[in-house]
C-alpha cells in the first residue's frame, strides 16, 4: 500500500469514527510488519557487510599474481584461472608423492629389520666360533 492510499485511509478513519479505528489498527499492524521486515533486512545487511569485509581481508593476504607466476602463468593469462587449473594437479601430485614416501618408508623399515636380523645372526655365528 502506497503513502497516498494510507493517507486516504487515515483521513477516512478520522472522519468515520469506529470503522475508521479498524482501518487505523490495520494500518498499525501493517506498519509493524514492515518494521519487522526492515529490521530483518538491516540484520542481514550487517551480516553481509561482515562477510564482505572478511572476504576482502582474505583476498588482501595473498598475492595471486606471484602465485600464478610460480605456477607458470603466461603474460595475459588470468591469475585465478591459472591457480584454479594448476592447484588441483599439484594437490593430486602431492598425494602421490606422500603415498610413495609412505611405501618407501615401509620398504626401508623392512630392509632395516632384515639387516638387523642378519647382523644378529652374524654375531651369533661369531660367538659360536669363539667357543
pLDDT tens column, 13-32: 666 566 666 777 788 788 88
Q: What is the pLDDT of residue 46?
A: 97
At 130 the three-state DSSP class reads helix
Confidence of residue 11 (pLDDT cuts 50, 70, 90): low
pLDDT tens column, 60-76: 888 899 999 999 999 99
Contacts of 72 (CB under 8 A, 6+ apart): 82, 86
- Concatenated DSSP letters of 65-123: HHHHHHTTPPTTS-HHHHHHHHHHHHHHHHHHHHHHHHHHHHHHHHHHHHHHHHHHHHH
Residue 21 grid coordinates? 479505528
> What is the pTM (predicted TM-score) of this model?
0.45
Rounded distance, CA 45 to CA 67, Å?
33
Rounded distance, CA 74 to CA 1, Å?
58
Domain boundaries, the chain: 1-61, 79-131
- 104, 106, 112, 116: CA torsion to nearest 10: -170
Amino acid at each position: 500500500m502506497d503513502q497516498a492510499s494510507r493517507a486516504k485511509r487515515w483521513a477516512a478513519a478520522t472522519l468515520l469514527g469506529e470503522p475508521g479505528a479498524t482501518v487505523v489498527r490495520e494500518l498499525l499492524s501493517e506498519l509493524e510488519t514492515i518494521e519487522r521486515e526492515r529490521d530483518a533486512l538491516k540484520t542481514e545487511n550487517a551480516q553481509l557487510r561482515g562477510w564482505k569485509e572478511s572476504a576482502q581481508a582474505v583476498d588482501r593476504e595473498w598475492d595471486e599474481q606471484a602465485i600464478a607466476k610460480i605456477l607458470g602463468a603466461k603474460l595475459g593469462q588470468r591469475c585465478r584461472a591459472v591457480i584454479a587449473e594448476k592447484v588441483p594437479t599439484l594437490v593430486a601430485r602431492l598425494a602421490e608423492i606422500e603415498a610413495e614416501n609412505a611405501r618407501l618408508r615401509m620398504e626401508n623399515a623392512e630392509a632395516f629389520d632384515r639387516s638387523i636380523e642378519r647382523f644378529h645372526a652374524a654375531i651369533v655365528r661369531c660367538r659360536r666360533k669363539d667357543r
